[in-house]
Structure 1
């Protein structure tokens, strides 16, 4: 009888994840699509469709808004005129990203599936652990992600076939006047997935709140736009666009993601305020 009760409790606990995912699917898909297009799909494909449409809207919406502000509305305030990328370059970046988007969004969909199966250390409610513990888990989770993305990114450069056939597609944007917020997701699909895998692996290493995990995945889309806009914000210890622009011009520095920590630890950090012939920064902290 005790075994049966434990099994029932586990099933009920796992059902909370399915219930939450189904709620997100109904709210999001139901607000933009007629029921006939999604209600009869299996749960996994409903989740993928929600992630695909949501990811596409986030990428396109944030990208167009970002570009409108820095290239047109506030033209020459953040980016000098000769650093603004051409429309052709931005359209190419959009095409590359949108071709990869169906594949990108398979990873968060699969991660939600394994969470629903109870195979990870996810928990459904913050109240399950309390706020202080929840915040501590987020910190550990982000450190794992930071470490994993640093090494995934670095190996995409160091392992020649990976660079040649995957990562080089992203590095055709190797000048400041070819980089834009749209370049943030302009990767070969497998390249983008490799760099996102640390989010997935972290689910098995540290307890993390389910909705927080999903949110952090989609924040990646905003963050990658930010670090490709060539505006050097200089907020220590953030790995902002100034540092990432150096990565696109030297190829051997600043592999990190959110912070400077891993590049500092492993000796690949390069400060954008240095006076160097490879890149110049004007006195108003603009990359040009």
Structure 2
């Protein structure tokens, strides 16, 4: 079933160009990808793989459907952002480029771009996320996202369209910071959709969160989480403790700015009983 869903999604996406097709092509890509990934993470994976739920409270009836419906607006905003990136490229006003990617140097540069995009995305997300928790913005905009106390995969983009404009603005800004291939821009920002959905899925994926940094740490460290990288538990706790855990990929901004919850490491490592609690966790616990 999971394989057939993926094949269907890929078939639908392959019917349209990767980029350059305007708003409706972008919107089609996003809708097919978002709801297919959401269905896999929410309905399929827990039925074929043993998972341990993170949430301490059950989801309310109707929450998943509500979040799936609320996600349509932000998906449309993201598609509009992609259409704007295409227009900037067409006019030659950005640093984006096209053409084949081949050779070691080109591939290495693309890998470097992914690392830069991860860091910039995480930084943008942290500080705009904190801004969205400012009283007036929280009550009028961000509160929609926090209606989900026990989030699901469909909570990933379940937020106000104003929040979508703020969150997705970085996808335009990066086009002015360094040369970026249009194909990589599209693939990367389609992939971040999976990250947002996975971060809300309600069960732990670490250390199998599919980022470049996660793949490297999995290769070097094996099946145990890295203190510097986020987990599903990290963002899930944000929905229970809204003044903590504002980052996306990495934990450094939360540690530097004092927004890492003191019990995070203790709660996380209950999933990995053979993994010793790091010194950072002991220090945080001592400060409580």
TM-score, with normalisation over the residues of structure 2? 0.73
Measure how far apart 1:182 and its partner are: 0.7
After superposition, what is the alpha-carbon deviation per residue over 1:4-42, rounded to whole angstroms, capped at 9, x for unaligned?
Answer: xxxxxxxxxxxxxxxxxxxxx995249xxxxxxxxxxxx
Measure how far apart 1:73 and its partner are: 4.2
Count of residues in correspondence between the two structures: 240
Q: Structure 1: any 5+ residue segments left out of the alignment? A: 1-24, 31-42
1:71–1:84 contact (8 Å) kept in structure 2:
no
2:129–2:246 contact (8 Å) kept in structure 1:
yes
In structure 1, the residue matched to 2:133 is 157
CA distance in 1, matches of 2:61, 2:175: 39
2:202–2:236 contact (8 Å) kept in structure 1:
yes
Q: RMSD between aligned alpha carbons?
A: 3.0
Measure how far apart 1:272 and its partner are: 5.2
In structure 1, the residue matched to 2:213 is none
In structure 2, the residue matched to 1:18 is none
Find out whether 1:101 has 2:79 as its counterpart: no
TM-score, with normalisation over the residues of structure 1? 0.73
In structure 1, the residue matched to 2:28 is 53
Find out whether 1:215 has 2:190 as its counterpart: no
CA distance in 2, matches of 1:242, 1:81: 9
Measure how far apart 1:107 and its partner are: 0.9
Q: Structure 2: any 5+ residue segments left out of the alignment? A: 1-11, 208-224, 274-288
User: Secondary structure of 2:180's match?
Assistant: coil
2:15 equivalent among 3, 28, 46: 28
CA distance in 1, matches of 2:261, 2:133: 17
Find out whether 1:141 has 2:117 as its counterpart: yes
In structure 2, the residue matched to 1:6 is none
Measure how far apart 1:244 and its partner are: 0.3
CA distance in 1, matches of 2:39, 2:119: 31
CA distance in 2, matches of 1:183, 1:56: 14
CA distance in 2, matches of 1:72, 1:82: 20
In structure 1, the residue matched to 2:167 is 195
Find out whether 1:111 has 2:92 as its counterpart: no
Measure how far apart 1:208 and its partner are: 1.5
In structure 2, the residue matched to 1:241 is 232
2:110–2:184 contact (8 Å) kept in structure 1:
no
